[in-house]
């Protein structure tokens, strides 16, 4: 509990630092939002008037103080590109990204841990060498390149996957919003057509993210699990006649703390890593929203995305600390 309280107390200053740095860095982006909104034919007077209306004519510190005051009241501003409140845009797009990275994380952790355990048990065999090569290669694979390859071979050539455009077939209507996850909402409402379409369209983007990130999860688990599997107490358990399956469970349980840490890091990382994947598959989530914000110099939208990403990462790390305390009694007080 002490660790949780310490982590929670650090969240406000960390968020303040994120807001400050993001606010200053966003202003360094090329392009004038007023000029982008009015077009190249706009007169200097019109541009100056719009800049004044947007508050861009004031000093940076004055703008930041006003922005901070709005944030404390739950107002992240209005998107220059969509003309909607940023909070509304983020709420509409967040479920798409969370659904994508949640399923990708499940596949990544399951595959990474499973491959690592099998490779340690089959040490010195061909399967072990194959996983080692994959672990080295996966970290060098760009996610957008993997996504494009999957689209080309599985959709264009083989025709097995649906078109990479959005979360649902165009002729279907989105299920009634309960969780925001199309798969869960379709299941809860008994909409089987939507469920099949949503699940099918998740295959390629989830596979893209998982193929790239499973290698890192597998390598970390291999290192930790191999050390535990070769330890003295595991040798004693084996000599005592415990079945192999029981020994694997014991070794894996004692390997959990580093695995949880790695999984938490990956989960937080996937929110940013999904940016290009969402763009390729026209996913309509936070990543695609952030890309549009950068292209259009949409300061409020970009700042809102970064703040949501920071809150998400901090919450993930908080959950990691709680799980770490549950699986490792030595850090409890």
- Domain boundaries defined on the chain: 2-72, 87-331
Residue predicted with more confidence, 28 or 132: 132
% the chain with pLDDT above 90: 31
Residue 279: name the closest of 130, 134, 136, 151 by CA: 151
Cα–Cα distance, 240 to 160 (Å, whole number): 50
| Mean pLDDT calculated for residue range 299-315 | 88
Torsion of CA 280, 286, 292, 298, to 10 degrees: -170
283 contacts 104 by C-beta, under 8 angstroms: no
Q: Which spans in the chain are helix H? A: 2-26, 33-38, 44-54, 60-72, 86-121, 126-138, 143-150, 182-189, 192-229, 232-239, 244-254, 256-280, 286-295, 299-327
pLDDT per position as a tens digit, 192-240 = 999 999 999 999 999 999 999 999 899 999 999 999 998 898 888 888 8
Using the predicted structure, report yes or no on whether residue 105 has a pLDDT greater than 70.
yes
Is domain 87-331 in CATH 3.40.1280.10, yes or no? Answer: no
pLDDT per position as a tens digit, 27-76 = 777 766 777 667 677 778 887 887 777 777 777 788 888 888 888 888 88
């Amino acid at each position: 509990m002490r660790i949780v309280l310490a982590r929670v107390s650090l969240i406000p200053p960390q968020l303040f630092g994120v807001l400050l740095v993001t606010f200053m860095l966003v202003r360094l982006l090329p392009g004038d939002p007023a000029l982008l909104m009015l077009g190249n034919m706009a007169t200097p007077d019109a541009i100056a008037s719009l800049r004044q209306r947007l508050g861009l004519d004031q000093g940076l510190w004055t703008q930041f103080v006003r922005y901070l005051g709005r944030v404390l009241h739950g107002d992240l501003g209005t998107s220059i590109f969509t003309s909607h409140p940023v909070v509304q845009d983020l709420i509409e797009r967040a479920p798409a990204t969370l659904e994508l990275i949640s399923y990708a994380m499940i596949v990544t952790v399951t595959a990474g841990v499973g491959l690592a355990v099998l490779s340690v048990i089959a040490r010195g065999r061909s399967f072990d060498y194959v996983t080692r090569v994959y672990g080295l290669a996966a970290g060098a694979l760009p996610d957008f390149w993997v996504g494009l390859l999957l689209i080309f071979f599985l959709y264009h050539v083989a025709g097995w996957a649906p078109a990479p455009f959005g979360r649902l077939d165009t002729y279907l209507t989105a299920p009634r919003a309960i969780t925001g996850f199309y798969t869960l909402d379709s299941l809860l409402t008994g909409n089987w057509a939507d469920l099949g379409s949503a699940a099918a369209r998740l295959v390629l983007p989830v596979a893209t993210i998982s193929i790239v990130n499973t290698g890192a999860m597998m390598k970390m688990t291999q290192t930790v699990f191999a050390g535990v599997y070769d330890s003295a107490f595991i040798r004693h358990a084996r000599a005592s006649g415990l079945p192999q399956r029981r020994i694997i469970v014991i070794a894996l349980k004692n390997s959990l703390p580093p695995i949880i840490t790695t999984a938490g890091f990956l989960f937080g990382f996937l929110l940013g890593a999904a940016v290009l994947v969402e763009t390729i598959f026209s996913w309509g989530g936070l990543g695609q929203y952030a890309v549009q914000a950068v292209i259009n110099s949409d300061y409020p939208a970009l700042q809102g995305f970064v703040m949501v990403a920071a809150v998400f990462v901090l919450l993930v790390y908080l959950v990691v600390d709680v799980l770490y305390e549950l699986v490792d009694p030595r850090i409890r007080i």
